Amino acid sequence: MANALYDKGRGHFALGDIHWSVDTIRMCLLKSTYTVNLATHEFFSDLSTNHLGGTGQSAWDTYPSLTCASPSAAGICDATNDPINYPAVAAGSTVIALCIYKALTSAALSPLIAYIDTGSGGAISITTNGGDINVTFDNGTNKVFKL
């Protein structure tokens, strides 16, 4: 798979439900147990228990918030807080992707936005060992993603 937007997340953007530079936008790490479904997964609750984070990060409302810049006229969404730190991620899992979502009052109401499984070195595959994981966004043409 390649980096992509969730279909229903794209719909939330089109309906004006997601305001990239105003809303609380968070990002979690996804384990290898997650099977992405861009067509039907809509809310954080669709991730089930397939997400993980570092110390103090374990629920939809505890993952790091992105400091989001205003999107460009070309639909390019950027974040200004590089790197995003996940401290002391528990050993024993494999991180295969990142999930960006809008955090609302519950996991069942928080829409999924983007699935990122490819970085500058190719496919994401990080075996967790209890250490930190730091995520730095692309500073190229499409930044975090392009609508």
Q: What percentage of the chain reaches a pLDDT higher than 70?
A: 99
Q: What is the mean pLDDT of the chain?
A: 92
Q: What is the 3-state secondary structure (H, E, C) of the chain?
A: CCCEECHHHHHHHHCCCCCCCCCCEEEEEEECCCCCCCCCCCEHHHHCCCEECCCCCCCCCCCCECCECCCCCCCEECECCCCEEECCCCCCCEEEEEEEEECCCCHHHCEEEEEECEECCEECCEECCCCCEEECCCCCCCCCEEC
pTM, to two decimals: 0.94
Number of domains in the chain: 1
**Domain span at residue 17?**
4-146
State residue 1's pLDDT score: 63
Is the pLDDT at 141 greater than 80? The verdict is no
Q: Does residue 63 carry a pLDDT above 70?
A: yes
